[in-house]
Amino acid sequence: MINYLEWSQQYDRDAQKILNVIERKKKMLKGASKDEQKTLNEQIISYRMIYYDLTRCADTLRERARAEGSDAA
């Protein structure tokens, strides 16, 4: 049997890692040249999309766990 709750928690952990990367990139914006800022902002946008996908997947898996009657969900 698939443990959807455990799976969702892994997605949450991965999303947190991506969020940490976003925060580091934001800090790098200070003191960066205009070209570097443009590149960093593009990277931040890409990472935000990944973060959003990960959190959406985690939510979906948690819902599935609830639907399947997982006690911890």
Q: What is the pLDDT of residue 27?
A: 98
Domain ranges in the chain are 4-67
- Write down how long the chain is: 73
Q: What does the DSSP assignment read for 3-47?
A: -HHHHHHHHHHHHHHHHHHHHHHHHHHTT--HHHHHHHHHHHHHH
Q: What percent of the chain has pLDDT over 70?
A: 95
Q: What is the pLDDT of residue 25?
A: 98
Q: What residue type is assigned to position 4 of the chain?
A: Y
Inter-axis angle of helices 34-67 and 4-29, nearest 10: 170
**Ranges of residues in the chain whose predicted pLDDT is under 70:** 70-73
Q: What percent of the chain has pLDDT over 90?
A: 89
